[in-house]
Structure 1
Amino acid sequence: MDEPLPSPTADGRRNSILSNFIPGSLPLPQSFLATSPIAREILRVDIEECSSDEGNESRESDTDSERDADTRPDAKLAFHPNGVAYGCGYSSVPLPGLDRPVPNPREIEESLSEELSLLRDNDIIPPRHHRTRQDSVVDRVYRHVFSTNIRDHRDVDSQHSPEETTHLLDGNYQDSLPTPPPNEVHELWDEAVATHNIKTSWQRETKTLVKYSAPLIATFLLHYSVTIGSVLTVGRLGMLELAAVNLATMTASITCYVPVQGLSTCLDTLCAQAYGSGHKHLVGLQAQRMTWLLWILLVPIAVLWWFSEPILAALVPGQDTARLAALYLRILILGMPGVAAFESGKRYVQSQGLFHATTYTLLIGAPLSFLQNWFFVFRMGWHFAGAATAMAVTQNLLPILLALYVWLFEGSECWNGFSRKAFSNWGPMVKLALPGMIMIEAQFSVLEILTIAAGQFGTATLAAQSVLVTVTSTTFNIPFPLAIATSTRVANLIGAGVSEAARVTSKVAIVAGCAVGLLNLTVLATFRSGIARIFTDDNDVIETVSQVMLVCAMMQVFDSLAAVSHGILRGVGRQAIGGYANLFSYYVIALPIGLSTAFVLDWKLSGLWTGLTSGLAVVCALELLYLYNADWESAVIQAKARMRSEDINAEPKHNAP
């Protein structure tokens, strides 16, 4: 019998004042609902068209893939950061229906490995290696601090009477038994979950989060290093150039990069569902359809960039700054096709579980971007225009490198070549993609407003803003991947019905987020002058950066905790609450406080960053307070209900005749 959803009056949360006015989950606007049916309709039309005129070989391949998908076991504990493309952040209010992973063979292996780890930790199956218990104090302390085994964290000298819920093994193994086959592991896992015998430790969750987040941190830093290289190079040219590159970069982000990222989020659903349903060639079709759509939409943006100088001159007082920023934007038009292609390409490989493909691409592309900056700016003598040229070349190089990886190594089975069908069925895709673009645009617009506000205080202040934005964006690339790892781990544990383990993961993540924030705070506060000198030699800019960097340093703790808490909310299915909290903090707290302190109190750039810090503190407090009062068992029940609803509403697979 299906488990009923908990009633609003008995949802199990703590009896606090929050329970009286904070719902279990905030509703989304009607335009943001029912994205999964739209995705299924897109795939249904594509499947019908392909079945009617594709060759027998393609149809037979898809039929085999469908049969494999039908027999594919569930992957409850696989690491699949669905909805996240490297270099792209979460939208403020993520869309429903995008968080359920579609398992692939690699993830099924990872899920089995995670099940084995937790079963071993709880002594339900024997350890992989022979272990003889030692009686020394040092051994007991070592196991208590570092061991992931649950029994090792109890008093090893105490005797426990056997109960129905005790572990199947007592921890003293004379011989290591062979690892059970996968089917038996799944049966043991389901039985242990049903009897509430699966527990975890902070050691296990720390190890897991480090394993998940470390490669993500490396990849995010690699991707952002392309921007860092451009800012570092321009900073050697002078204060005016540094201010202009900040204005140009923020304008490019808000008018092009962020909308492209937002529109591309629909591929997280379409490509994953196409791959999971067995119609692998539709993964390539969806990716090339989105690429063509983005290229067409970029035409009016290119026109806007070409004639951007009078617009920028009206927004900032420095005419020379506006002129250089417009020059930078004109050259960046050449990189627009690469930006769109890379966003689609990332989703193409990630839907197949090939997350490392992007990493390998950036391992080549990021160092080359630094080389190109040196070559065009100093070797060729193109100066400011050379930095823009290097950025445009890198933007086009990244999708080419990614395509070469797919062609030479793995991922090409989802590509059937270019097709005329990429120019059809656009309406539903646009309808699915627009909400994601609107939400991400709303989140990032605040940064553009603050950049324009900084420009009102002069060129030196705008140049200092460029350094501060670059530094804080770099530091954010540490807690943000941690938030992705936390979101995935919590969602997997909630989906598997292990709510207590999800709570442990959340506590570990919050402590880790606080530690990362304190580390960033210490680094920025201690080396604030040295960091400024890395970017520029101008004394006015260095002095401004050193002063405001103290505010940015204090912001790091709230920035890290807000990222992690939002990741936890995504994991328990309450992402809308975190999204609305973000929008509230940006537009009701951060902007009014920032603009008031900057212009009314004459704190200038320090006032703008004080507003951001205040907003992050508020959203951090709201999200953590909600999590403290949340009912995790209710999240498990609702997660099961969502999965049942998706299964019931799913269209039956269309088999080719």
Structure 2
Amino acid sequence: MQQRIHHEEDTISVGSSSLSSTPTERTPLISRLPDDFEKGHASLGCEFRWLVKNALPVVFTFLLQNSLQMASIFTLGHLGPTELAAAALASMFASVSAWSIAFGTATALDTLCSQAWTGAKDKTLVGIHLQRALCILGLMFIPIAVVWWNCTALLLKLHQEPELARLAGLFLRCLMLGAPAFIAFEATKKFLQAQGIMQASTYVLMIVSPLNLILNYTFVYLPPFKLGFMGAPLATSCSYWLMLTLLICYIKFVDGKAAWGGWSRECLTGWVSFLKLSVPSLLMITAEWWAFELSSLAASYLSTNDLAAQSIVLTTASATYTIPFGISVAASNRIGNALGESNARKARLASIVAILFAVFFGTMNSTFFMATRAKFGFLFTSDTDVVRIVSRIMPLCALFQVADGLAGVCGGIIRGLGRQEFAAYLNILAYYIVALPLGYYLTFVRDWDLNGLWIGLTLALFLVASGSLAFLGFINWDNEVKKALNRIQADEAKIHEDTQGAPF
């Protein structure tokens, strides 16, 4: 990528900063430069090592977190095809209607918490951001819970089979008991990641994930429980609460409580500024998430073989995305921390290393898919027709691997900057103005079948990746430092003005 960025000084003067060590106009800039400033390769090497160390726990966390609901599907698959289909349908419904919304809203913490952790005098500002997020997410879950409670009626109106709709509705009503814990876990996880504590959620899930599988089997099949179908979502709900409890215990007894000053009435204020970041974050995440789910829905109107092939390719693409996802989360927090500590050069270097990682892993994935495309489908099925369809789609899957990684990592960099609004508009344009209409036309008008859907999605990923790279190429990192410190100072000023901001 041709970075259209000048070599900024390591720090800048920004008036009165919240950091006591911020230089004045008379402070020599050379005293603020890192020891390895003259050694560009050493700086890049430092960012490389940091990113590897901190992205890996995020990748494992993401994989283990996804395994929780997969355990329910595997467990219920032995009860019968209807139960399996109902669990899969309910999981998809939960993903679209709740998890994507909660995840998108919580990503505002990638900006606010990471910048506040290094830029604020009072580190408990990070905790106040978390409290605001929890309050807003709690209110958002009320309409989601109403939708879940009436899921059976909604699915019947969408002409689903009555028994399938009934079981899916039952699944969601039981899962509703644990959903608040899952949402709170997601926000609390970001609270820790902003402090550079990436491994805490991984440790928690290494404990909870195998226990979840045992609980699922026990609740479904073994006395004295033997609850049948409803046992799986109840077990998963218990696992969600265990996750949150263990993560809170980690904060209290191990690490992370430095940013927690107790519950404060200040969390009931400042919602407008929080929503200005969280709403674009929500649109940024859900635009892509929902577009891929809609592609699966569209594939269901084709043949059964096409739907099976779509499931294989989409599952594979999701698996390969875990690496750029981990990089994006780590890079987002690294860049936010660097901006908070007035280190523009560090933020720029972190973004460059993250982008290089995305290109490297995308190229590796692409090469693997092209080399195995003819036989890859046999890993999932013995049906030769399905394997043949998969082999036709795999070159497209291979083509967008680099773009998918770049889009994800650039999204993380943009969250670290706090510029989610641009990414939201770009994703909406790419997926809903270009990809889905084009995919519908090629698939159902031109009769290109599954190829049409994936051509549209591939084009969208390239548009998002190229647009994000162009946007980052024009970023003035010194100005981003000023914006970050201004945001932090404004938040701190509000706290100091509020005489009722003490913990309660």
TM over 0.5: yes
Q: In 2 relative to 1, CA 533–401 (structure 1 residues): closer, same or farther, beyond 3 Å?
A: farther
Pick one of 323, 340, 343 that aligns with 1:496. 343
* Distance in 2 (alpha carbons) for counterparts of 1:241 and 1:541: 23
Corresponding residue number in structure 2 for 1:360: 203
TM-score (norm 2): 0.74
Question: Higher Cα Rg: structure 1 or 2?
Answer: 1
Aligned residues: 475
Deviation sequence 1:106-155 (CA, Å, 0-9, x none): xxxxxxxxxxxxxxxxxxxxxxxxxxxxxxxxxxxxxxxxxxxxxxxxxx
Deviates more, 1:436-445 or 1:512-521: 436-445
TM-score, structure 1 as length reference: 0.59
Distance 1:375 1:540 in 2: 38
The AA in structure 1 aligned to 2:101 is P
| Offset, 1:234 | 5.2
Structure 1 residue ranges without an equivalent (≥5): 1-11, 15-68, 76-184
Tell me if structure 2 keeps the 8 A contact 1:206–1:508.
Answer: yes
> What SS is found at the alignment partner of 1:513?
helix
Partner residue, 2:456: 611
5 Å matches for 1:282-321?
Answer: 287=130, 290-315=133-158, 321=164
- Relative to structure 1, the CA distance from residue 186 to residue 367 in structure 2 (aligned partners, 3 Å threshold; closer, same or farther) is farther
**Corresponding position: 1:394 with 2:239:** yes
CA-CA distance at 1:559 after TM superposition: 1.0
Mapping 1:471-490, distance limit 5 Å: 471-486=316-331
Q: Contact between 1:243 and 1:462, CA under 8 Å: does it hold in 2?
A: no
Task: Tell me how far 1:336 sits from its aligned partner.
Answer: 1.6
Measured at CA, do residues 200 and 468 of structure 1 come closer, stay the same or move farther in structure 2, by a change above 3 Å? same
* Cα drift, residue 590 of structure 1: 1.5
Bigger Cα displacement from structure 2, 603-612 vs 424-433 = 424-433
Contact 2:131 2:263 in 1 (8 A): yes
Determine the C-alpha separation between the residues in 2 that align with 1:518 and 1:254.
30
8 A contact 1:246–1:463 mirrored in 2: no
* Displacement of 1:587: 1.3
Q: Which amino acid is 2:178 matched to?
A: G
Deviations 1:326-362 (A, max 9, x none): 3332332222221232133224434554333222212
Work out whether 1:260 is the aligned partner of 2:105. Answer: no
One-letter amino acid matched to 1:639: E
1:226 aligns to what?
A: 68
* Structure with the higher fraction of residues in helix conformation: 2
- Identity among equivalent positions (%) equals 36
Q: Residues 167-566 of structure 1 correspond to what in structure 2 (within 5 A)?
A: 188-190=31-33, 197-200=38-41, 206-233=48-75, 243-267=85-109, 277=120, 287=130, 290-315=133-158, 321-377=164-220, 379=222, 384-412=229-257, 421=265, 424-425=268-269, 428=272, 431-432=275-276, 433-457=278-302, 462=307, 465-486=310-331, 496-498=343-345, 502=348, 509-524=354-369, 548-566=393-411
User: CA-to-partner distance for each residue in 1:174-203, whole Å, 9 max, x for gaps?
Assistant: xxxxxxxxxxx996553989xx84522665
Change (3 A) 1:240 1:438: same
Query: CA offsets per residue over residues 272-317 of structure 1, 9 Å max, x none?
Result: 6876656566765664564455344423322322222242244466
Alignment check: 8 A CA contact 1:341 1:399 kept: yes
Distance in 2 between residues matched to 1:488 and 1:285, nearest whole Å? 17
C-alpha RMSD of the superposition: 4.6
Cα distance in 2 for residues equivalent to 1:646 and 1:426: 12
Contact 2:58 2:198 in 1 (8 A): no
Equivalent-residue separation in structure 2 for 1:237 and 1:548 (angstroms): 32
Give yes or no for the alignment of 1:639 onto 2:480: yes
Q: Distance in 2 between matches of 1:310 and 1:471?
A: 32
CA 1:241–1:261: 2 relative to 1, 3 Å:
same
Code of the residue aligned with 1:611 in structure 2: it is G
Shift of 1:453: 1.9
Change (3 A) 1:268 1:624: closer
Q: List per-residue Cα deviations over 1:401-435 (Å, max 9, x = no partner).
A: 2122233333446667677x489548647745445
Moved more, 454-463 or 298-307: 454-463
Deviations 1:496-531 (Å, cap 9, x if unpaired)?
A: 3548x946x666544432331233234455667987
- 3-state SS of 1:410 partner: coil
Separation in structure 2 between the aligned mates of residue 444 and residue 317 of structure 1, nearest angstrom = 23
Change (3 A) 1:232 1:544: farther
User: Given that residues 107 and 281 in structure 2 are in contact (C-alpha distance below 8 angstroms), is that contact kept between their aligned partners in structure 1?
Assistant: yes
Tell me which amino acid in the other structure corresponds to 1:190: L
How far residue 478 of structure 1 moved from its aligned partner, in angstroms, is: 0.4
Residue type of the alignment partner of 2:152: E
Q: Which amino acid aligns with 1:584?
A: L
Partner of 1:20: none
The alignment partner of 1:200 has SS state of helix
Distance in 1 (CA, whole Å) between partners of 2:45 and 2:132 is 45
Match of 1:89? none
Please tell me whether the aligned partners of residues 71 and 212 of structure 2 are also in contact (alpha carbons under 8 angstroms).
Answer: yes
> Using a 3 Å threshold, how does the CA distance of structure 1 residues 521 and 375 change in structure 2: closer, same or farther?
farther
